[in-house]
Amino acid sequence: MLQVNHIRENKQEFINALKKRNFEAEDIFEEVLQLDDKRRATQVKLDDVLAESNRLSKQIGMMFKNGEHQKANLIKEKTGNLKEDSKALSEELSETVAKLETLLYTIPNVPHKSVPAGTSEEDNEEIFKEGDVPVLAEGSLPHWELAKKYDIIDFELGNKVTGAGFPVYKGKGARLQRALITYFLDKAIDAGYTEYQLPLMINEASGLGTGQLPDKEGQMYHITADDLYMIPTAEVPMTNMYRDRLLIDKDFPIACTGYTPCFRREAGSYGAHVRGLNRLHQFDKVELVRIEKPEDSYAALDNMVAHIKDILIDLKLPYRILRLCGGDLGFTAALTYDFEVFSTAQDRWLEISSVSNFETFQANRLKLRYKNKEGKKELVHTLNGSALALPRVLAGILENYQTEDGIKIPDVLVPYTGFNLID
């Protein structure tokens, strides 16, 4: 959520920047500022009424003490009117604040100056590519056929038990999945991240805090009886651990990691691009979250990008990095880098990670601040990244490492799997 004072101070700059997202902000900013003016004026009136009421209450107390009962009762009538005024003003203030907050929830984050303009993923900017695409033998298979051939993932059984998008991992498939999770966590811990085990359900306040609500409500599984939501990513509970916190200098840097299943209702369209592991309703992911002072956040973002690069180099998977354009940028992000691995059998790039800096956008919703060296309270910057989302990493390994003898296991994972070939 944007800060109103920042909108007021940078109105035209924000209007121009949001055009990169194809978001016309001029009218909504005007409404925001009008509501904020009304909020301020109402607050001043309410403060004046409350101050006068307090002054008269003290005066009445002194009069009763001095035996001036008649005068005290006359003034008491006036305080009754002031109470009615304060009640009306309080209601008006609450209504204005609610309207203002609702309006602010509809405005996306202002893109970083490096974000290119664009309308869709076609306009994303490739900034880095590494790794050689393997040459596969004739007749090489996509991962969903490999999974069936080697009996390591059962999509039909998952469909029977739950529905489409809920695969069942079996035997060496389950062990490879577990190996990837442990390897990703070990890499994060070695890089200085603290591991957390997190709830898989969140309340509404947590969804609002990180921006999943109200923007992505239709994509989340809602448990109506308890008014809880299944998490779409570990980012949500992990970042909300710091909701309503005031941090101090020695708390930084804050680097968290955790593995969770993730749940998303919206799984995209039908067709080859969503077959197998390409898009699921339930999938596993190891997440990174950082909370930084504003002056340190972009160095932290670069550090996260380097961390994911290192993992993909270890796995020997060909990958590229995209800087997302305004039209493809997530609602809460100021800058996002997407990592994609190349699936040789599918002859296409598969997104396997997004790394984002939200600047103060989430922190403003979370009321997450720190006290700087001058003793002033400021909003922090929040960042998150997948390191990594497992389904498409697993798909890339199965397809790119397939041989006539079976599927080789990347060397770095063999100590975790206990085997070097799926056959």
Q: β-strand 369-371 against 246-247: which pairing, if any?
A: parallel
Binding site annotation covers 264?
yes
| Single-letter residue type at 314 | D
Burial 23-34, CB ≥16 within 10 A → b, else e? bebeebbeebee
> Does 353 appear as a known binding residue?
yes
DSSP secondary structure code for residue 420 in this structure: S
What sign does the dihedral 289-294-299-305 (CA atoms) show? positive
> Strand, helix or coil at 343?
strand
Contacts made by residues 182-190, CB under 8 angstroms, sequence distance 24+: 182/416, 183/412, 183/413, 183/416, 184/259, 184/286, 184/311, 184/387, 184/388, 185/257, 185/259, 185/286, 187/307, 187/310, 187/311, 187/314, 187/387, 188/257, 188/286, 188/288, 188/307, 188/387, 189/257
Angle of helix 297-315 relative to helix 171-190, nearest 10 degrees?
A: 140
233 labeled part of a ligand binding site: yes
Q: Any binding-site annotation on 265?
A: yes
Q: Is 384 annotated as a binding residue?
A: yes
125-130 and 319-323 strand pairing = antiparallel
Q: 352: annotated binding-site residue?
A: yes
How many helices and strands (H and E) does the chain possess?
A: 13, 18
First to last CA, the chain: 51
Question: CA dihedral defined by 244, 246, 250, 251, rounded to 10 degrees?
Answer: 0
290 is in an annotated binding site: no
Distance CA 40, CA 89 (A): 12
The verdict on whether residue 203 carries a ligand-binding annotation is no
Q: Mark the binding-site residues, compressed into ranges.
A: 233, 264-266, 287, 351-354, 384
Q: Mark the binding-site residues for ATP, compressed into ranges.
A: 264-266, 351-354
Q: Mark the binding-site residues for L-serine, compressed into ranges.
A: 233, 264, 287, 384
